[in-house]
Amino acid sequence: MANRESKVGRGKPRPTHYDLEVWQDAMRLASDVYRASRKFPAEERFALGREIWRSAISVPSNVAEGAARGSKTEFVRFLHIARGSLLELDSQLWLAFDLKFIGDRKPLQRRIEALLAKLNALITAERRRASLRAATIRD
């Protein structure tokens, strides 16, 4: 993915969502989910398939939107939304597997679990930074 910087808040350059590993992983996952869902029966591409597409693209989209916000609080809020979309995608892929629309769910499942762990770690790290910053301001 591209390495870009943007001017965000107080004119200081800050890494954009392009630099975030969770965004990069989410984009790859979304592409793979789109490819896997092409094999769905025609009538399901516009039912379950469409819901899967929405969930899949929602994950990197929310990471990007949160990164573009000016505050860490907003960033964490959008990371929570991304996590919710990821778990929604997980549920939808289980259903697609149960209905035999996809053959092997394990590769996508492993990627979802890995991305979930990274999102959780990023949420925890951002919360910790915010707490340290708040403690420093009080002192």
pLDDT at 124: 96
CA 53 vs CA 7, 9, 95, 100, 120: distances in Å: 31, 33, 14, 18, 22
pLDDT at 5: 44
Please tell me the pTM assigned to this model.
0.84
* Dihedral sign (CA 24, 25, 28, 30): negative
Query: Tokens at residue 54, please?
Result: 């929405």
User: CA-to-CA distance for 80 and 105, rounded, in angstroms?
Assistant: 24
Domains of the chain, each with CATH number or no CATH: 15-138 (1.20.1440.60)
Question: Hey, what amino acid is at 89?
Answer: L
DSSP state of 47: T
pLDDT at 129: 86
SS3 category, 7: strand
Digit-by-digit pLDDT tens for the chain (139 residues) are 444 444 444 555 555 899 999 999 999 999 999 999 988 999 888 899 999 999 999 999 999 999 999 789 999 999 999 999 999 999 999 999 999 999 888 999 999 999 999 999 999 999 998 777 766 766 5
SS3 category, 117: helix
